[in-house]
Amino acid sequence: MGEPSNLPESILTNIPWSEKADTIWPASSFFLHRNLGGYPFSQKLTEDSSSTLIAKIKASFLQLPEMEASSYLPGELLTPREKEFLSEHFLSPEGWQNISKGQAFILGGSGRFLAALNVQDHLVIQSIDCKGEWEKAWNAVNALEGALSRHMDFSFSPKFGYLTSDPKISGTGLIVSCYLHLPCLIQSKILRQLLLLYKEPGVEATGMLGNIEELLGDFLILKNIHTLGVTEETILKELHLTATKLILAERTERDKHRKNASAEIKDAVSRSYGLLMHSYQLETKEALDAVSKIKLGIDLGWIVGMLDKEINEIFFRCRKAHLQQSHKEVALDKKELAHTRAEYLHSKLRQTTLTV
């Protein structure tokens, strides 16, 4: 039997991508790394020092008015499934399965904000934006860090900026990821060429699996390479400029296919539709790759009966931890999970029609 969830109901029901967002740029995430002065980095803390540090950060957070509805989640109380759920929800590239005693999370009531305590650094503030409110999301993270700095002394060097356990993240301590859905550029095999033309010097391109060779769900992730020797404004400007150019190129390709669709694109969308409608079992990767083509088909008008924000929500809910959490009354093994995923996708796509 499944166990009661330690996660608040708000995050279980509030899927970030269920908001109406840009069809090509549906999400961005912001990570801000900080350490407290007077303490060793997390890896060198004693158990007592770790407990003291956690208590201090928790107290500073929970006294802020904007954190009134937040939840404190000690690492030792979270199950592996719940840790994976948080990682999926926040599009976090970090593996959190080993988080335990002396580590914790603070979860914002809106489900858009997470603070990791004593995990990689003493504090990593993360926010996810799925409404296309790029500047608003960054300003909220920045304002929260500013409010916390009035209660805590962050490690800072006039020469190196904010100090982190990984020297490559020192300086601003800011890592931003932009999630771009680029199936037409990928299918047309022109993405690599455009990256050479459009990518700003401080930007790197990767995928949800951590490399650019295999872009899960046709999503390209743009991230800043440097945090040291650059300002937050430069990081945001370079990422936004690169993203904007790639989005324009993807829209141009989609407009071509609306007017005169290639057989290859039609076939990719049609095959994906058939796969999701009729499979008995579906693994995560094949499901997400097929959902990507459905998302494209909806935007091109080839699949009717579903909105873009609905397929975005499906993209979240068919992933392993989300799917298991929605069936928490039982623990699903690998085969049961693959079958449950297929059944879930059947039920969601039953209302749709393929028109090509």
Tens digit of each residue's pLDDT (9 = 90 or more) over 13-35: 888 877 777 899 999 999 999 99
Within the chain, which residue ranges are assigned CATH 3.30.590.10? 26-254
Predicted confidence at residue 2, as pLDDT, reads 47
**pLDDT tops 60 at residue 1:** no
Banded model confidence at residue 8, pLDDT cuts 50, 70, 90? confident
Section 175-203 average pLDDT = 96
Q: Strand ranges (DSSP E) for the chain?
A: 27-34, 71-74, 104-107, 113-117, 123-129, 156-157, 161-162, 174-181, 203-206, 219-224, 303-304, 353-354
What CA–CA distance (Å, rounded) separates 135 from 137? 5
Dump pLDDT digits (tens) for 210-234: 889 889 999 999 999 999 999 999 9
Which tokens is 220 given? 């390209």
C-beta separation of 125 from 146 below 8 A: no
By C-alpha distance, which of 113, 107, 79 is closest to 321? 79
By C-alpha distance, which of 221, 54, 26 is closest to 131? 26
Q: Strand ranges (DSSP E) for 47-163?
A: 71-74, 104-107, 113-117, 123-129, 156-157, 161-162
- Give domain 26-254's CATH number out of 2.40.10.10, 3.40.50.2000, 3.30.590.10, 3.40.50.620: 3.30.590.10
Section 174-180 average pLDDT = 96
Section 79-94 average pLDDT = 86
